[in-house]
Amino acid sequence: MKIFLIGFMGSGKSTLGRKLSVALKLTFIDLDTFLEEKYFRTIPQIFAEEGEDAFRRKERKVLEEVSAFDDVIVATGGGAPCFFDNMELMNNTGFCIFLDVAPKSLVSRLIHAKTERPLIKGKTPEELQQFIDATMVRRRPFYEKARYILKGEEISPEQVIELVTKG
């Protein structure tokens, strides 16, 4: 079995993915970490030195790699579903689940997050809110191509297990 967790930054993909990997006995892969280890650079470094387009090409490459693995649960970066035909790749090779968290909750989570995220670095809470609202409008049509959509602030591993075991 292969599961892809998708959704905006701060939607809880990695936290949920780790819990699910234990419950379902799958290997957990955080796509951002996988990318950083492959290219020996952090995401902020790649954005700063090569720009977003180069990051997206690398992201596509690692997504192709992990799509060929079996028995994995992959937490993708928030933008991954919205470039190239990445959604089609994920839908064709695994169960894709969109964690649909309300923008208001994303703002408060991202303000307090320790991870450095180039797209939102240095934004005030108001700017962050605007960025999330505008970006979500553009990204939602991609996210909604997922086979399953789970809405809520605290999506539990049990909810996902029920979905994927029912087929």
Q: Is 77 in the site for ligand S3P (CB under 6 A)?
A: yes
For ligand S3P (CB under 6 A), the number of binding residues is 9
Q: Is 48 in the site for ligand S3P (CB under 6 A)?
A: no
Count of CA atoms in the C-beta half-sphere (13 A) of 156: 3
Contact with ligand S3P (CB under 6 A) among 12, 17, 79, 94? 79
Contact with ligand S3P (CB under 6 A) among 32, 73, 86, 132? 32
Q: Is 103 in the site for ligand S3P (CB under 6 A)?
A: no
Q: Is 118 in the site for ligand S3P (CB under 6 A)?
A: yes
Instruction: State how far the alpha carbon of 57 is from the alpha carbons of 64, 101, 133, in Å.
Output: 11, 27, 25
Buried b (16+ CB within 10 A) or exposed e, 78-101: bbbbbbeebbebbbebbbbbbbbb
The CA distance from 85 to 68, in Å, is 16
Q: Is 60 in the site for ligand S3P (CB under 6 A)?
A: no
Q: Is 36 in the site for ligand S3P (CB under 6 A)?
A: no
Q: Is 74 in the site for ligand S3P (CB under 6 A)?
A: no
The CA distance from 125 to 11, in Å, is 17
Given the structure tokens 């079995």, which residue do they identify?
1
- Name the site residues for ligand S3P (rule: CB under 6 A): 9, 32, 43, 77-79, 117-119
